[in-house]
Amino acid sequence: MASAPKAGSTARQRARAELTREIKAEARRQLAAQGAQQLSLRAVARELGMVSSAIYRYFPSRDDLLTALIIDAYDSLGAAAEKAGQSQPAAAVRGRWRAVCTAARNWALANPHEYALIYGSPVPGYQAPEATIAPAARVAVVFGQILADATALRLNAVPGQDAPGAADGQPQPGQQAPGAADGQPRSAPALSPLLALQAAALADAIAPGVPAPVIARALIAWTQLFGMISFELFGQFVGSADPADEFFAYAVDQMATLVGLD
């Protein structure tokens, strides 16, 4: 984000950007080492050879430092997901889905404290500021693109036939469930009006052209993915699916089928 030192700045501004970056780097180091709870402004300052009050010139409070780290974490995870999403040909939607899910898990396993920071319980009174929602959406956008590509592929494959109730994202309730013969994985219950609306809005935002029922199922897969990662990371799997590698692969596959990825 704002970590590239602008060339045309005064020395003071460059020094400020530099120090801001160093503070974040040291804070990230402590975060990775001991978790968010143990992140101490004083310790960061100590490590950087400055006095604690100086930190407040750069981050007005501990929460602001944490927010910066949260944004970085979202961006880091988002970049990993995007890279994984482009690692395969656009048409290989199922392979891309698998790659993105695996990338998300690997990122979480490699950066458990960062993951806990963004997908664990939010810090006490902490309210996610506006600046976090865009980076937070990056992973969702990757999934949306895969869905959109899959939908477009299906439409092209069967030129004369519309995707079931897809055009307006607002199918008549109870009308588009018959038979699982057209790529829809299975007869699905009709979406409630509000849910259909939410799905349509989501499609408009990040997955143009994708039918609402597919979006709704993708939401399921989305929550399943991060639920699974959280369970693994937070130790909820001990005694059941631990180690979780094979269960993870199985679940990713099942969810791909659920959302109708070929």
Partner DNA sequence: TCAAGAACGAGAGCAGTGCTCTTGACATCG
Partner DNA sequence: CGATGTCAAGAGCACTGCTCTCGTTCTTGA
The footprint of DNA (CB under 7 A) covers 10-13, 15-16, 19, 39-43, 49-54, 56-58, 60-63
Reference 14, options 5, 22, 26, 23; nearest CA is 5
Cβ proximity to its own copies: between 93 and 256 the closer is: 256
| Distance of alpha carbon 87 from alpha carbon 214, whole angstroms | 24
Q: How far apart are CA 63 and CA 82, in angstroms?
A: 28
Q: From the CB of 8, what's the least distance to DNA, in Å? A: 10
The answer to the question of residue 95 lying near its own copies (CB under 8 A) is no
By C-alpha distance, which of 89, 195, 87, 105 is closest to 150?
Answer: 89
Query: Interacting stretch for its own copies, rule CB under 8 A, among 11-19, 85-93, 145-153, 190-198?
Result: 190-198
Dump strand ranges (E) for 109-248: none
Report what 251 binds from DNA, its own copies, none; CB cut-off 5-8 Å by kind. Answer: its own copies
Cα dihedral value 186, 192, 197, 201, nearest 10: -40
Partner from DNA, its own copies, none binding residue 61, C-beta < 5-8 Å depending on class: DNA
**Degrees (nearest 5) of the Cα angle 105, 110, 111?**
100
Residues 196-215 that bind its own copies (CB under 8 A): 198, 202
Task: Report the residue count for the chain.
Answer: 262
* 139-158 footprint of its own copies as x/- string (CB under 8 A): -x------------------
Residue position matching structure tokens 């490590």? 47
Query: Does 236 interact with its own copies (rule: CB under 8 A)?
Result: yes
CA end-to-end span of the chain, whole Å?
Answer: 36
Closer by beta carbon to DNA, 16 or else 138? 16
Which positions lie near its own copies, rule CB under 8 A? 34-38, 116-117, 119-125, 128, 133, 136, 140, 185-186, 188-189, 191-192, 194-195, 198, 202, 216-217, 219-220, 223-228, 230-231, 234-236, 238-243, 246-247, 249-251, 253-255, 257-258
